[in-house]
Amino acid sequence: MNTIKIGLCGLGTVGTGVVRVLQDHQERIRHKLGCEIEIVKILVNDLAKPRDVIIDRKWLTDNPDELVNNQDIDVIVEVMGGIEQTNQLLEQALNQKKHIVTANKDLMAVYGQKLLRLAKENHCDILYDASIAGGIPIVRTLVDGLASDHIQKVMGIVNGTTNYIMTKMTDEGLPYKEVLQEAQELGFAEADPSSDVDGLDAARKMLLLANLAFKMELNLDDVDVKGIRHITSDDINFAKSLGYTIKLIGIASMDDHKTEVAVEPTLLPQDHPLALVKNEYNAVYVHGEAVGETMFYGPGAGSLPTATAVVSDLMEVVRNIRLGISGNTYIDPQYERQLKTDSEKYSRHFIRLDVEDQAGAFQEITNVFTTNQVSFAKILQLPGDKDGRAEIVMITHKISQEQLLKSLQALGELAVVERLISHYRVEGEE
């Protein structure tokens, strides 16, 4: 087969990048694969819209059937987004024996396992490295590079929008709303930023990583999610004074074949590699039993970084076609889905309290933690103010989620505790 023909779904930021990479790197791709990759159809919403990439207008169509039912097309490259309609399109394409490359983490988080099984039934490939961290080849690393290792933990910054916001708040002392508006003006954040700032985007990516790393089939509902909307400058400054940086971190771990997956604001030591990841960049930290600690860093979004990952997946599909080994990328989960209980989830925690500044208040608070066997690595108590209130900031030693929740509930029942201002996970000091 001298030419592999593709249908491209979407000609937005990433789709335009895919066209450019295929055009600009044509000779290099031909040299590596021994064949041509040719675009024959591009699915778009608006046929008349001006494009900022050189294309043959005859490629454009607004009819999905011209891709799905086109017998000349070998591979569908999906970069248009969406879930339900996109899923239907890809199911039809797989049933037509077409291979799939996608950058759609929303789709893969919801329908990924179903699509992967359908691809296997039809002896097709479906690759999705670009869906998780843009230009970082983390999926291929977990599937191939670390295939022989037992992955114990995956932790990372997998959302560029929230990392940009947290960087600006930390480095420049700007409030959340002001930085969010700036991120929207620069195009880093959507007009409705909920998916990013509430942690859903990161949760979908961490779900995909956890399923790959732990060879298990988890669901999106299994991910504990907490976003960044309520982080204040005071939280950041207190964390700094104790030697930490706050980041929105995705964490997936497995112990004794039981897993935990979470996305939440997390304090990291200021010299931790993930604490040094700035602005819209992503990084994924992988801990394997044999390899130890490794970290993968790079741009997590953008036209050309993501397009490069898409084309890399496309080239892998083409290699498999030429070798006659398509349809073998999906492997059934090795382990049954098992989640850690609250008594099995362990980490350290940052707790910030608004309390009455009176004799015996600290003793009452201490009694709560003693009852729940919680001890502290660091405590910071601020002088009382004229309203007769003070703040206490604490970093616990490693405790279970059950101990944390019981302690917080008991604190809420104390008359001397005005309110729990904030509490965050602490990682990176094992």
- Active centre residues (catalytic): 205
Q: Measured at the alpha carbon of residue 227, what is the angle toward residues 226 and 232, in degrees to the nearest 5?
A: 115
Q: Which residues of 19-54 are buried (b: 16+ CB within 10 A; e: fewer)?
A: bbbbeebeeebeeebebebebbbbbbeeeeeeeeee
Q: Tell me the C-alpha to C-alpha distance, in Å, between residue 80 and each of 42, 71, 298, 382.
A: 11, 22, 23, 52
Whole-number Å distance between alpha carbons of 161 and 336: 34
286 Cα distance to chain centroid: 13
Any bridge partners for residue 294, and if so which?
286
The amino acid present at 347, given as its one-letter code, is S
